[in-house]
Amino acid sequence: MIELEGVPELIDPVMVAAFEGWNDAGDAASGAVAHLDREWKGEVFAALDAEDYYDFQVNRPTVWLDNGVRKITWPTTRLSVVRIGGAKPRDLVLVRGIEPSMRWRSFCNELLGFAHELGVEMVVILGALLGDTPHTRPVPVSGVTSDADLARTMDLEETKYEGPTGIVGVLQEACTHAGVPAVSLWAAVPHYVSQPPNPKATLALLNRLEDLIDLRIPLGELPEDARAWQLGVDQLAAEDSEVAEYVQTLEEARDTADLPEASGDAIAREFERYLRRRDPSATAEPGDGSYLRDTSSGLTRPPKRRPDVSGTGAGPGAGEDPTEPPAPAAEPPEPSGPSDLTESTEASEPSGPSGPSEPSEPTQEPGDDAPRA
């Protein structure tokens, strides 16, 4: 039985979840939940037992010093809660962790147990995938669900995918079978600049989440970080004529596909968001003080085929997750001598796109840590 003595009754709570790994290209999804937790000062009230779900040879613990005393942090999934003030107060339950190595059904059941005890009204799972999308255009974000009624009422896509999936797809299906409304929001990350962080994709997910739950999210420095990220990728792309030509091809394909969206619902959504951000009464503020009673508890040159991108956190490619919509397709040009401008960065705090290195085109299975783009 789940004990939640330190958590008061929540107001219209929505659970927002993201998991590092296969479903988190560019760390865009986990970065979005981390942003919410940071901006609204979330308070952790529970953590799943790492021994039950993680292979520590795959997700290793980290050791650190606390005033000269060595301590170990184990990989796990943590739940925190934030109370949001303003004209329409409500609470969010934030779930942030790592895709589990084993016992996925038990993992989902444990999260649903928390959702039931907290009275969660809806679960929103964030994900990011690699796709044929140019970095110079707005990041495509699609909302999908397995519930036909929910798809109609919330203007979402009903997923029809069949094939390999990650924890995002499994958790969404578990919610559906448990009778909990669940939505997945997917951001498409350019496969030629997949290394984290990707603040532009994180920003796009947060904007879509705003629209979904009708809540203004403080963005802090994220818009400026997104502009700086795009400028950095622009500069790297300009140094290679083949990359620049490939990006132009993606831009033309994207502009053609988006032409019908240049009016109608797309413009209406942007205008509504603009008005919401100008309305001071719509500002969502964190609740005053702590309300928990007990808190102790880089670029790659365009390949000859759509590449198999390797590296931790690369995320699934288009069409490899059941909650994922297909990304816009555009075939890259045939370069005479492809090379790789992607450079691995530290997973914790990478600095952004990096310089050249040699490419590889490994043959991958969909369940690998870095599935195909």
Write out the chain's pLDDT in tens, 373 residues: 455 666 778 899 999 999 999 999 999 999 999 999 999 999 999 999 999 999 999 999 999 999 999 999 999 999 999 988 777 788 999 999 999 999 999 999 999 999 999 999 999 999 999 999 999 999 999 999 988 888 888 889 988 888 899 999 999 999 999 999 999 999 999 999 989 999 999 999 999 999 999 888 999 999 999 999 999 999 989 998 888 999 989 988 888 876 655 555 655 655 565 565 555 555 555 554 344 444 333 454 444 433 333 344 445 554 455 444 444 444 444 444 433 433 333 333 333 444 434 434 433 333 344 444 4
0.85 exceeded by the pTM? no
Cα torsion through 208, 251, 318, 28, rounded to 10 = -40
CA separation for the pair 297, 214 (Å, rounded): 32
CA separation for the pair 162, 366 (Å, rounded): 13
Cα torsion through 351, 353, 356, 359, rounded to 10 = 110
Phi/psi at 342 (5° precision): -85, 130
Residue spans of alpha helices (H) in 138-198: 148-153, 167-177
SS3 for 361?
Answer: coil
Cβ partners under 8 Å of residue 283, min gap 6:
86, 216
Cα torsion through 236, 242, 246, 252, rounded to 10 = 100
CA separation for the pair 57, 53 (Å, rounded): 12
CA separation for the pair 373, 314 (Å, rounded): 9
CA separation for the pair 361, 363 (Å, rounded): 7
User: Quick count: other Cβ atoms within 10 Å of Cβ 171?
Assistant: 25
